[in-house]
Amino acid sequence: MLRLEHLFKRLGELMSRESALDHHFALATLFEVMDVAARADLKSEVLKELERHRAQMQSFRGHPGISEQVLDDVVARIERAYAGLNQMQGKAGQALAPHEWLTSIRSRISIPAGTCAFDLPAYYAWQQLSAERRQNDLRKWATTLVPLAEAVGVLLNLLRDNGVPQRVAAPAGQYQQRLPEGKTYHLLRLRIDESLGLVPEISGHRLMVSVRLMRPDEEGRLKPVTDDASFEMALCA
C-alpha cells in the first residue's frame, strides 16, 4: 500500500503541472500503478482490511472515552471507500486495457527512447495539444484508479493514527526495541530532524525492531554514524 500511495501522490502532482514532459511522466506513473495493482488478490485484500477496520470501529461504540460523532465520521469514510472499491469492475485500471492508444504507449514507454516522435507520432501529436486538454485526458484515465487510491488512503490514515509517537535515543546512531509477543505491528513511523542529514536504515521481525542511522558521503553512499542522536518513533498496530 505504501508503494501505491507513493505512486498516487506522484501522479496527482504531475497531472497538476502543465508541461508535456510532466504529462509524459504522469502517464508513466499511471502505468506503474496499473502494474502494482495487477495482483489478482489486491482488491479483495484491501476490501477485507476495510471491513476489519469498520468492525473494529463499531466495537468502540458506547465507550465513554470516544466521541460518537468522530466515530461516525470515521466509519462513514471506511464505508464510502469500501463501496467505491467494491463497485469497481476488475483490477484497478482494467477499464483502460481496451484503449489501443494507451496500450501502444505502455508497450514502449519502458524502452529507452521508445516514445520518440518517429516511433509514436500519435503520442507526439497528443503532447502538442494544450495543457488543459492533456490534463482533462489524464484526469479521465486516472478516474479509473480513484476507488483504489481512496481505499488505500483511508487504510493508511487509520494505521498511522493508531500509533503513539515517542521520543527515543539512539546512542552511537543505533536503536533497538523488543516488541511484545502476541501483538502485530504493520507500520513503523520515524520523524528525524532534517537538519541532521540522517537516513534511517530499518530492519526487524515480530519480536524486535532495529534502526541504524546513516549519513550519505560525498558520493552519496550511506555510512553509519557514530554520534548520539534522537528521533520520534511510532509503532502502528
Q: Could you tell me if 37 and 128 lie in one domain?
A: yes
For residue 146, pLDDT beyond 90 = yes
Q: Are residues 168 and 133 in the same domain?
A: no
φ, ψ (nearest 5 deg) of residue 17: -85, 175
In whole numbers, what is the pLDDT of the chain averaged over residues?
Answer: 93
Q: Is the predicted pLDDT of residue 231 greater than 90, yes or no? A: yes
Q: What is the mean pLDDT of residues 112-139?
A: 96
Q: What is residue 129's predicted lDDT score, i.e. its pLDDT?
A: 97
Residue 16: is its pLDDT beyond 90?
yes
Q: Which residue has the higher pLDDT, 46 or 94?
A: 46
Same domain, 45 and 69: yes
pLDDT score at 147: 95
| Proportion of the chain above pLDDT 90, given as a percent | 79
d(CA 139, CA 149): 13
**Residue type for 21, please?**
L
Q: Do 195 and 90 sit in the same domain of this protein?
A: no
The neighbour count for residue 152, using CB atoms within 10 Å, is 24
The domain that holds 215 is classified in CATH as 2.60.440.10
Grid cell in block for residue 230: 534522537
> Of 128, 158, 188, at which residue does a domain stop?
158
Q: What percent of the chain has pLDDT over 70?
A: 100
- Give me the number of domains the chain comprises: 2
Averaged pLDDT for residues 81-109: 91
One domain for residues 152 and 197:
no
Rounded-to-integer distance, Cα 188 and Cα 6, Å: 16
Is the model's pLDDT at 117 over the cut of 90? yes
Q: Do 58 and 131 belong together in one domain? A: yes
Alpha carbons within 13 A on the beta-carbon side of 152: 20
- Domain end, chosen from 108, 143, 158, is at 158
Candidate from 12-26, 46-60, 122-136 with smallest mean pLDDT: 46-60
- Domain check: are 44 and 152 in the same one? yes
What pLDDT, in 10s, does the model give residues 49-72?
999 999 989 988 888 888 888 899
* pTM for this predicted structure: 0.87
Q: Are residues 70 and 46 part of one domain? A: yes
pLDDT average, residue stretch 74-85: 95
Looking at the fold, whether 152 and 168 belong to one and the same domain comes out as no
Say what the pLDDT of residue 43 is.
92
What is the rounded average pLDDT of the residues 206-227? 93
pLDDT at 142 over 90: yes
* 8 and 118 within one domain: yes
Task: Indicate whether 188 and 145 sit together in one domain.
Answer: no
Domain boundary among 137, 158, 179: 158
The pLDDT of residue 181 is above 90? no
Q: Return the CATH number at 118.
A: 1.10.3900.10
Residue 130 shares a structural domain with residue 206: no
Average pLDDT of the residues in 73-93: 92
Is the pLDDT assigned to residue 94 strictly greater than 90? no
Domain containing 8: what range?
Answer: 2-158
- Cα–Cα distance measured from residue 172 to residue 188, given in angstroms and rounded to the nearest whole number: 21
pLDDT of residue 95: 87
Q: CA-CA distances (angstroms) from residue 203 to 101, 209, 210, 212?
A: 43, 6, 5, 9
* Stronger pLDDT, 85 or 93, i.e. the higher one: 85
